[in-house]
């Protein structure tokens, strides 16, 4: 986890308000709300002493009720989903590729900032597409506020791809991007690219078959078969 987010989480879990965390760590309240909107909250004495008890207690109850309801529905969703089969994994990965994958220049690549999504992509490439570590490269795209070494270690752990398969790190220094992405992508984005290592079955042929999977799935949806 992002060290700054870890510190903010400790403060939040010990009862500090977004305003107080913002004052201590300089993290925008909108970012804090996005991080902790689904976490239970009980204000500490310092918070209670700063404001009237009534509004904060009422707000705490409403927030915690919402968090509990969110968790209840998540648990229901998990139960309804059940266990995934290999075909489920195939279709799940295909959906991911439809949304996040490259579909031109006969290059297989998925880009995302979510480690769980990247983990899914790696598993899909290996278990469904028959690829090995040697067929997968990782390129990390970062912003100036990212810690390069921490990001490198993070994506290495997430992907399980050996160090020699990592490509040169790209750092986006465009000024119009800095404020938008600042602290919102603590580990940047990972670009997972497939290389064939001389085996076209794991390169251009796999890309063309992948396009066939996509076309076959979407055409059935269009035809109302599903």
The three-state (H, E, C) secondary structure of 50-119, written as one string: HCCHHHHHHHHHHHHHHHHHHHHHHHHHHHHHCCCCHHHHHHHHHHHHHHHECCCCCCCEEEECCHHHHH
Do 146 and 39 fall within a single domain? no
Do 102 and 150 fall within a single domain? yes
210, 108 contact by CB (below 8 A): yes
Do 102 and 209 fall within a single domain? yes
Cβ-based neighbours of 73, under 8 Å, separated by 6 or more: none
Do 197 and 130 fall within a single domain? yes
Do 143 and 168 fall within a single domain? yes
Which of 43, 60, 81 is the C-terminal boundary of a domain? 81
Residue 96 has what pLDDT? 97
Residue 1 has what pLDDT? 62
Q: CA 78, CA 224: separation in Å to the nearest integer?
A: 28
Do 129 and 216 fall within a single domain? yes
For β-strands 109-112 and 189-194, DSSP reports them as: antiparallel
pLDDT in tens, 85-129: 999 999 999 999 999 999 999 999 999 999 999 999 999 999 999
Residue 4 has what pLDDT? 85
Which of 52, 81, 110 is the C-terminal boundary of a domain? 81
Structural domain count of the chain: 2
Q: Which domain holds residue 39?
A: 3-81
Do 153 and 206 fall within a single domain? yes
CB atoms within 10 A of CB 4: 16
Which of 81, 96, 130 is the C-terminal boundary of a domain? 81
pTM greater than the 0.75 cutoff: no
Do 68 and 33 fall within a single domain? yes
Do 40 and 142 fall within a single domain? no
Do 75 and 133 fall within a single domain? no
Cβ-based neighbours of 171, under 8 Å, separated by 6 or more: 141, 142, 143, 144, 146, 148
Which residue numbers in the chain have pLDDT < 70?
1, 47, 49-60, 175-183
């Amino acid at each position: 986890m992002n060290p700054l987010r870890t510190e903010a989480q400790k403060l939040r879990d010990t009862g500090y308000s977004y305003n107080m965390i913002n004052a201590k760590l300089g993290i925008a309240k909108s970012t804090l709300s996005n991080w902790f909107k689904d976490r239970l909250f009980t204000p500490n004495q310092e918070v209670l002493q700063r404001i009237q008890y009534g509004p904060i207690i009422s707000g705490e109850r409403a927030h915690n009720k919402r968090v509990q309801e969110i968790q209840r529905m998540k648990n229901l969703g998990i139960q309804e989903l059940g266990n995934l089969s290999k075909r489920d994994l195939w279709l799940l990965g295909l959906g991911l590729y439809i949304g996040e994958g490259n579909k031109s220049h006969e290059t297989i690549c998925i880009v995302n900032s979510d480690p769980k999504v990247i983990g899914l992509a790696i598993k899909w490439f290996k278990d469904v597409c028959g690829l090995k570590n040697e067929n997968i490269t990782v390129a990390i795209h970062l912003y100036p506020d990212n810690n390069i070494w921490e990001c490198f270690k993070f994506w290495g752990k997430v992907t399980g791809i050996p160090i020699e398969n990592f490509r040169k790190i790209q750092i986006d220094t465009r000024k119009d991007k800095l404020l938008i992405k600042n602290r919102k992508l603590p580990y940047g984005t990972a670009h997972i690219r497939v290389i064939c290592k001389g085996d076209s079955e794991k390169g251009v042929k796999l890309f063309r078959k992948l396009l066939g999977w996509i076309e076959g799935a979407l055409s059935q949806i269009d035809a109302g078969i599903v």
